[in-house]
Chains A and B, each alone.
Chain A
Amino acid sequence: MIDAARRLVCSVLSLQSPVLLFLLLLAGCAPQRKADLVIINGTEPETLDPAIMTGQPEGRLAIALFEGLTANDPKTSSAIPGVAERWDISPDGKTYTFHLRRCQWSNGDPITARDFVWSWQRTLSPKTASEYAYQLFYVNNAEEFNSGKLTDFSQVGVRAPNDHTLVVELHDPTPFFLDLCAFPTLSPIHRGCFERWGDDWIKAGKLVSNGPFVLDSWRINDKIRLRRNPNYWNTANVRLEVVDVLPVGSAATALNLYLTGDADIIWDKGLIPSYLLDELRKRPDCHTFGYLGSYFYRFNCTRKPFDDPRVRRALTLAVDRERIVTRITKGGEKPATHLTPPGIPGYESPPGLGHDPEKARAELAAAGFPDGKGFPRFKILYNASGGGAASVNEQVAVEIKDMWQKTLGIQCDLVNQEWKVYLNSMSNLDYDVCRASWIGDYNDPNTFMDMFVTGGGNNRTGWSHKRYDELIRAAGRELDVANRWKIFQEAEALLCREESPILPIYFYVGINFFDGAKWEGIYPNVLDVHPIHAIRRKNGRMEEWKDGPRSSQSFPAFQSSSLPIFHFLP
């Protein structure tokens, strides 16, 4: 009987032998070079086109492949010279004259100011449908061009009087304009490459870029391989030859890859499991730092009873943020009582409404709901599908629901919607209270504060206040730094102490995992921007990196063969 089974297995396996043979043959083929650095970057990038990308993982790849007029300083993330080696700013702050250095694209073509004009035209073109085109709206007539009202780009405030000079005219003095120039949306694009290949232009083998790295290969959802760009003007200071950027979907997998040495860095917060943070933060290779992001709840100010500021203040005062950051998020987040995260140099937010149960009850009583009697049952909306980083939203909501019940005596229900549905509901003001977050685009309070102007697309609370609008507009025109900070402080006090259309909960922390003894060049900064070209191995030749904790396995032949055999199997 066992014989019969054996014979059966043999006959089944014999069908396998051609398959197995094929696999073994391929496995022994020429190995692909092992990368100098392997980074877990986040999810698969939706695009590498800097003009249309919107996500953080994409942004990190963009600053490796492209370089704008300015670049981000690896230490402070503030603007340093990029393609532009120096610039002049007019006294009224509205005209910038950039002097470009003599440098090249990755195919040897010289970079000229006309490349920037053409690239910005493409970004602003309605056909490109760039979601971040509004970053360029500070430029004269840019918004009109983008909405189609203006069709002649020569009227937009950017021109190239000669090959190496770029003049930009803004309609308001925008103090953070230089930071914006480092933003991927404002990157230059090689016109010839784009016109030749169309939508395919950012694929490996076709892409012509001007950053520290070029795109060596891009296997979707598998690996993006970057190679040092020898035509980059600063390539002498780039110490990495080959960098692999991995898209990983699950935090557990990311952690496992890191712990076994298959990855050197994890720098996407969403890929770090919050339930393990208590333990993980004790490790020396866990680097946490303040991050320019806010987690808060929105109140739907068009619905009763949330149209009453007393109700909103009561709900805000009843939340114990300490408990949430110690028990749920565990990343060392700072509890937030105001909107703008700390870390913007020179700016200090006024304190908002803290945790004060007595005052909360008093406010609620003043609003007509003593001890919560008569308060309608409402819903907290959040997105939490698919486990992962979003499960924190559910946990926070559970805690807050409990706090409101115990402190104020009011009841609510939790509604979990899928991401797209949740975005839809939030946009349509189809919620009572909803979870929200905002990441700053640049190092200035404006990126947070201008969300809540009347009718602003990112307001999504239905809140409107004339004084607030005035203050934000005034800040946009103010040249004096100290005055500007005062204006923002007044606006923030109005937003967070008096009106409270939002409930600030905590400020994000950036978390990076890497071995500080092996790698240098990764610095904590509030924008969580870590240009890859600044990273280097500490005191060691590049060849030595291969014998990390697990890379010299007992099956060297297989290990080094990273030929993608299964990608081509019929």
Chain B
Amino acid sequence: MSKSPAQMAWQRFRRNRAAVLSGVFLLFLVAGAVIVPTVKRDALEAISDAQFHPPNAQYLFGTDVHGRDLFARVFYGTRISLVVGVVAAVVSLAIGVVWGAVAGYKGGRTDSIMMRFVDVLYALPYLLFVIVLITTLDELLNKTLGSWGMPGLAAQSRILLLFGGLGAVSWLTMSRIVRGQILSLKAQTFVEASRAQGASTAHIIARHLLPNTWGIVIVYLTLTIPSVMLMESFLSFLGLGIRPPQASLGSLIADGKNAINPIKIYWWLIVFPGSTMALTLLALNFLGDGLRDALDPRTKK
């Protein structure tokens, strides 16, 4: 009895040890990112006299300049980084899928104009755009949200801009992938049949084409998250990332990089956030690769 494509894909995935390990690691990481900050809610901001203490029984990852527990902050930072990564990736997915699907399905003139637009955007340095966006719109968003009577949300204006901005620069690859998929699916008979029955474009895209692209979309979603996290860390380096007192892995690393100096190395300030981020990105990349290999029937084994 032949297996369904999904089952075969799962089997292929299982054989990729690196991908499976990564998946398990990520599950633990997410669990930690959810549990630790909730349990140690106060530790995030509680300052103490234990400044720059190396890791010990009480402070598993050591303390920072304010005597705050780095262990809690790292997991809190992981939470924020993952949230930013996932939300921005979803934003990029929303834009990219719609863009790519429409371009792929419509074909012809529309397709070439839309993809030309993507090509042009590819050529522009995304970081410049994000820097300009954040610098110029942060205050404006803050005031606007405040005047709409949402002070809580207004205080989060920076993180909202990160969601939007980082997502807006990441949708290009997604749109290309989706367009490619749609193009190959378009020619298949079930689409013809549906069109013959008089189904609208939107209906065809939504009910027939898109469900068949979820596989590849998930793969690129998984691969967008590490790229977004890395971008956020660059922004933190420039001072445009997550605002304190919130912390993200990127901002912790940007603060911790000061520990790499010839005078006195408070190694825990860079090692723990840095390796957490590196391992997370590694895991996400391995997972994404594994998913892609699993879904792609041409991989030799």
Contacts and interface: CB of A to CB of B under 8 A. Distances in A.
Given A275-B65, A387-B254, A402-B47, A414 B264 contact: no
B239 interface: yes
Contact of B263 (A280, A328, A402): A280
A327 B51 contact: yes
B5 interface: no
Contacts of A395: 65-66
Contact of B139 (A255, A280, A421): A421
Interface string A272-310: 010110111000000000000000000000000000000
A253 to B, nearest CB: 10
A107 interface: no
B239 A259 contact: no
A275 B245 CA distance: 19
Contact of A385 (B47, B239, B258): B239
B211 interface: no
Interface residues of A, number: 28
A398 B66 contact: yes
B237 interface: yes
A252 interface: yes
A276 B47 contact: no
A413 B262 contact: no
Question: Main secondary structure on chain B at its contact with chain A?
Answer: loop
A414 B263 contact: no
Contacts of A386: 238-239
Interface of B: 45, 47, 51, 65-66, 135, 138-139, 155, 237-240, 243-245, 254-255, 258, 260-264, 266
Contacts of B264: 276, 278-279
A252 B45 CA distance: 27
Nearest to A417: B139
A276 B259 CA distance: 9
Nearest to A326: B51
Contacts of A327: 51, 65-66
Given A386-B239, A387-B237, A418-B135, A394 B51 contact: no
Interface string A390-434: 010011001100100000000001101110010000000000000
B244 A414 contact: yes
A273 to B, nearest CB: 6
B139 A385 contact: no
B258 A273 contact: yes
Given A384-B239, A398-B66, A413 B244 contact: no
A256 interface: yes
Nearest to A397: B244
B51 A279 contact: no
Contact of B244 (A328, A416, A421): A416
Nearest 10 interchain pairs by C-beta: A385-B239, A386-B239, A279-B264, A276-B263, A279-B263, A402-B47, A416-B243, A421-B139, A394-B244, A327-B51
B145 to A, nearest CB: 14
A414 B245 contact: yes
Contacts of B65: 275, 327-328, 395
A282 to B, nearest CB: 10
Contacts of B135: 418
Contacts of A273: 258, 261
Contacts of A398: 45, 47, 66, 244-245
Interface in A514-536: none
A320 to B, nearest CB: 12
Nearest to B135: A418
Contacts of A384: 239, 244
Nearest to A390: B239
A255 B66 contact: no
B240 to A, nearest CB: 7
Contacts of A421: 138-139
Q: Which of B66, B237, B258 has the most CB of A within 10 A?
A: B258
B47 A399 contact: yes
A414 B255 CA distance: 18
Nearest to B47: A402
15 contacts: A252-B261, A275-B258, A280-B263, A327-B65, A327-B66, A384-B239, A385-B238, A385-B240, A386-B238, A387-B237, A387-B254, A387-B258, A413-B155, A414-B245, A418-B138
A414 B245 CA distance: 7
A387 B155 contact: no
A327 B258 CA distance: 16
A386 B235 CA distance: 9
A387 B251 CA distance: 10
Given A255-B263, A275-B266, A386-B238, 12 more contacts: A252-B258, A259-B262, A276-B263, A279-B263, A327-B51, A385-B238, A385-B239, A398-B245, A413-B155, A417-B139, A418-B135, A418-B239
